[in-house]
Structure formats: structure tokens, C-alpha cells
Structure 1
Amino acid sequence: MKIRIKGNSIRFRLTQSEVKQLSETGSVAETTQFEQTKFAYKVQLESKIQELEASFSENTITLKVPQTKGSSWFDSDNVGFENTMALQNGNQLHLLLEKDFACLENTNEDQSDNYPNPKMQC
């Protein structure tokens, strides 16, 4: 799982096995260990929401996905979900959850579990 954070925008990208795990078990998580603490990020299905939501607590970003959408995501052609969440302070947080496609250019990153890029020509 990858995350990209820029200003008030968070983008999550999941590999094929992570999308399958999310659809089957209801969550997928990663951690990054620092010297004194760890940073965690996870995606989980929630039954009581209609759109993507996010929270940050105890050094963890949690992206919540409506269960009605996320439980069948692995078997669908849907690339992802997007929402702009209104915050209590009047700001907005843009949320994006996508399937991770293989890069078209060479990279040192392991992409063996990424989705085939639809722009790749056979």
C-alpha cells in the first residue's frame, strides 16, 4: 500500500492482493517504524458510511470505505473511490483510494502485484 499526502489531500494506492484482502477481511494496514515511534496507515470497510472518510489518531491515518462499495471492489473494474470530506474547522480533506497500476516506465520498485496498466499496449 502506498500513500501520497500533499496539503489537504491523501491518496492511497493498493495492490491486487491488498484490494483482495480489503474485500475479504475488511481491512489492510501498513506501518513505518521510526526510532521512537511508528506511523501507521490503514484502509478499512465501514458499514455506516456512504462516502470515503478519514481520521488520524495515535499516529495512524485510517481511511474508511463504505462496506457496500469496498466488499465487491476486488471483483469489479472500478479503479477507485474519491470524496472531499468537510472538516469541522471549515477546511476540506480530499480523499482518493485507487488500485495501483504498474508504471509504464522502468522503476526499481517491485510491481509484481500491481494491476496491469490499461495504457500498456500488447
Structure 2
Amino acid sequence: MKLRLEDNSLRLRLSESEVQQFAETGRVAVALPLGPTAHDSLTYALERAENEEFRITHGAGAITVKVPAALANHWTSTDQNGLSATLMMAGDQPLKILVEKDLDCRH
């Protein structure tokens, strides 16, 4: 899974196998080591959320994008390429979230 942060946007791109894992388990995550210990890492994840709106959580070395279950299920079971939402953050700053299938990527 690729993470891209740019200006007021966050984008996740999932490979075909990651989309399948997300469909089956409701979660896919990557831990990126940023130092010499296990605590020195950044984990970014995509989660299916049963009774929640599209949202993002962060803290303690983790960023998690939560997608409503109905949207997640439709996205993984159809040829729909992406999901997007714009969330209002502190100071009325918009944060655009984009989750995409990266099906041409073979890694």
C-alpha cells in the first residue's frame, strides 16, 4: 500500500492483493520503520468501520483511514476504482482523503 501526503490531501493506493485482504479482513496496514527500534515506525492503515462515517484517526505512530462498511464493501466487490471524502479539520481546514485501487502495479 502506498501513502501519499500532499498539501491538504492524503491518498492510499492498494495493490490487487491488498484490496483482496481488505475485502476479507476489513483491514490492511503497513509499518514503515523510521528508526532502530520497533517503536520508531509509522503504521498507516485502512479499516472498514461498521457504524462510522468516513474519518481519519492518528496518534502514537499510526494513521488510520476508516471507511463506512457499505462503501468499503461496494468498492471491493465492483470495478469502482476509488473512494473519496473531504473532512473538515481544525481551523476549518479541509482534508481530502482518496483511497484507490492500484491494479496496474505489480509489486
Gaps of 5+ in 2: none
CA–CA distance in structure 2, aligned partners of residues 19 and 67 of structure 1: 14
Normalised TM-score (structure 2):
0.88
Please report how far the alpha carbon of residue 38 of structure 1 lies from its aligned counterpart in structure 2 after TM superposition.
0.4
Q: Which amino acid aligns with 1:44?
A: E
Higher strand share: 2
CA–CA distance in structure 2, aligned partners of residues 31 and 54 of structure 1: 17
Please report how far the alpha carbon of residue 53 of structure 1 lies from its aligned counterpart in structure 2 after TM superposition.
1.4
Q: What is the total number of aligned residue pairs between the two structures?
A: 104
- Which runs of 4 or more aligned residues in structure 1 lie more than 6 Å from their structure 2 counterparts after TM superposition? none
Is the contact between residue 10 and residue 96 of structure 2 (CA under 8 Å) also seen in structure 1? Answer: yes
Based on CA coordinates, which of the two structures has the bigger radius of gyration? 1
Give the SS at the match of 1:73.
Answer: helix
RMSD: 1.5
Gaps of 5+ in 1: 103-110, 114-122
CA–CA distance in structure 2, aligned partners of residues 90 and 25 of structure 1: 34
Please report how far the alpha carbon of residue 75 of structure 1 lies from its aligned counterpart in structure 2 after TM superposition.
2.2
CA–CA distance in structure 2, aligned partners of residues 2 and 38 of structure 1: 15
Q: Provide the residue aligned with 1:42 in structure 2.
A: 45
Matched, 1:26 2:26: yes
CA–CA distance in structure 1, aligned partners of residues 99 and 9 of structure 2: 11
Higher helix share: 2
Is the contact between residue 19 and residue 76 of structure 2 (CA under 8 Å) also seen in structure 1? Answer: yes
Q: Provide the residue aligned with 1:112 in structure 2.
A: 106
Q: Provide the residue aligned with 2:84 in structure 1.
A: 82
CA–CA distance in structure 1, aligned partners of residues 58 and 7 of structure 2: 15
Give the SS at the match of 1:17.
Answer: helix
